[in-house]
Amino acid sequence: MRAATMSLAGACVLIAGCGQPAEAPAAAAPAAMTAEQTAAVLASLPAPYNTADLENGKRKFGLCKSCHTIAPGGANMTGPNLHGVFGRKTGEVAGYKYSDAVKNAGFVWDAEHLDKWLAEPRTFLPGTKMSFAGLKEAKDRVDLIAYMKVESGYKTP
């Protein structure tokens, strides 16, 4: 009996359009990617990000979560939603009230700017209202930035 059920379930995974989706819906993360998709995005990043430790990046993002969401359509909290931040100009999230420092900074967020910002936000953009001391370890910033790229819908140009 059990063997029959299992092979049926196995067949469902193989046959497309078999009624139920093969994977359990990822309720917590609306834009959840499969492990293969995640690995493909990671591999497509320029060095050193392509060899980043995403688990560590995720842990480091824990430092941001009290103020930021990164899921698509996530709420602005103390800080703005970070989905799609790469390739976006500073201070552009609709409905979020930025400081003049960030609003007028006038560059486009990429890994290099984010690395400097995350090392020491208040030195990089004096007058910012982001009260985050900074992430001192360069490797932690690499891991975090790679994690953010994977999570924020980054597409290689």
Of 12 and 92, which CB lies nearer to ligand HEC in the complex structure?
Answer: 92
Contacts for 4-7: CB closer than 8 Å, 24+ residues apart: none
Q: Tell whether residue 79 is a contact of ligand HEC (CB under 6 A).
A: yes
d(CA 99, CA 126): 10
d(CA 136, CA 71): 25
Of 69 and 99, which CB lies nearer to ligand HEC in the complex structure?
Answer: 99
Q: Tell whether residue 64 is a contact of ligand HEC (CB under 6 A).
A: yes
Q: Tell whether residue 66 is a contact of ligand HEC (CB under 6 A).
A: yes
Residue 89's CB is within 10 A of a number of other CB atoms, namely: 11
Task: Provide the binding-site residues for ligand HEC, judged by CB under 6 A.
Answer: 63-64, 66-68, 78-80, 82, 85, 90-93, 98-99, 101-102, 109, 118, 128-132, 135
